[in-house]
Amino acid sequence: MARRPRLLPTVGTARNLLAAGLEGIVDRAPTGSPALPLVLVACSGGPDSLALAAVAAHAAHTGRCRVGAVVVDHGLQPGSADVAARAAETVRGLGLDPVEVRTVSVDRTGMGPEAAARTARYSALDDAAAVHGAAAVLLGHTLDDQAEQVMLGLARGSGTRSLAGMPGRRGLYLRPFLELRRIDTEAICAFYGLEPWHDPTNEDRAFARSRVRQEVLPFLEDQLGPGIAQALARTARILGQDADLLEQLSSEAYAGLRTEGDDGAVLLPEDGLRALPAALRQRVLALAALELGAFQPSSERLRAAESLLDRRGSAGPVQLGGKVSVHRQVRGRAVLRGDASYGNLVLSSNGSNNGPGVKQSRRPTQE
């Protein structure tokens, strides 16, 4: 009888990480029980997602859950359909079921190619999870991906949430391998005898992420010593906790300040905004803009909106993006039915007649 290969320590670590990630999402049940929840692996055929599929297959074999997979074909490279088909065949061989390939159309309007592909991919994964009633969708991002994400955020001058990188869990999505290195997933694939596909775009210096991976992080390791990737991932973990708290506090502040004006406008009292710390004040303004359908406003746009509170110069409007603007309510102009009111910042989407610059029968008094 052939001896079973000794369990690779990295495989054991990966299994434990997945089990910890699934806590509270799936409950242990007898093997084959129809009540077992379904977990889907988002699989590209690369080392990270194939390693995750193999580890998830073990969870299925031990009766923790059912495991299927979704392979998204973006159609952006020659032969992508063949790559997707091979990935699907590989995970079926691991025992995953159901397995489906979803071909998407990537719309690059208003965003770069990476962002457009990501948007299309998550839309396909959302749909697949809904169709199959999945309890979770597993993503194969590693510590190296997290480090790259933080470095890109630093280069853009991003805020706390962006520098917090990718969360281990958000909604249906789980990233159980954020403590593993990319070399670990390659070792897991070798242990299971899997031959992963290597995405050529990962070597293409035309993409900022590839330059960070191939040039920036190795340079920092050379100049500052080993451990840069781990340090960046640790930074993301710390900032993630800070961002969660700030978002909770800003949501509470927004709920306490927000008043709905006529024509769907959102009113925020100036005195209440001034009383908030700047970190919360900017987040409250962003929440109002998002509620009205804006994209996440830039820090420059939020500071411009804050400047209206100084009551010097123009009363606005300040454009916050996504056809949402904010202006300072001028004396004598009502934004609620009834008597004229005063002392609010008014956020409205285009088409509202609340703005001070819109022609009307009664021209507001400027200060």
The predicted-structure confidence for 325-358, as pLDDT tens digits, reads as follows 999 887 655 555 544 457 899 999 874 444 443 3
The per-residue pLDDT for 128 is 94
Distance of CA 149 to the CA centre of its chain: 11
pLDDT of residue 194 exceeding 50, the answer is: yes
The per-residue pLDDT for 328 is 87
CATH topology of domain 259-349: 3.30.465
What percentage of the chain has pLDDT greater than the value 90?
A: 59
Highest averaged pLDDT of the listed ranges 35-39, 146-150, 152-156: 146-150
> Does 45 carry a binding-site annotation?
yes
Residues shown for the chain? 367
Residues 6+ apart with CB under 8 A from 163: 150, 153, 154, 235, 236, 239
The per-residue pLDDT for 18 is 96
Alpha-carbon span 166 to 120, nearest angstrom:
18
Looking at the chain, the domain(s) classified CATH 3.30.465.60 span 259-349
pTM: 0.81
> Does 48 carry a binding-site annotation?
yes
Element (H, E) at 320: strand 318-321
> Does 113 carry a binding-site annotation?
no
The per-residue pLDDT for 356 is 42
Mean pLDDT of 174-200: 95
pLDDT mean across residues, the chain: 86
> Does 47 carry a binding-site annotation?
yes
Confidence of residue 360 (pLDDT cuts 50, 70, 90): very low
Looking at the chain, the domain(s) classified CATH 3.40.50.620 span 9-228
* Token output for 362: 């009664």
Residues 6+ apart with CB under 8 A from 319: 301, 325
The per-residue pLDDT for 35 is 72
> Does 80 carry a binding-site annotation?
no
> Does 321 carry a binding-site annotation?
no
* Token output for 207: 């993409």
Listed range (228-237, 281-290, 344-353) with the worst mean pLDDT? 344-353
* Domain formed by 9-228, architecture: 3-Layer(aba) Sandwich (3.40)
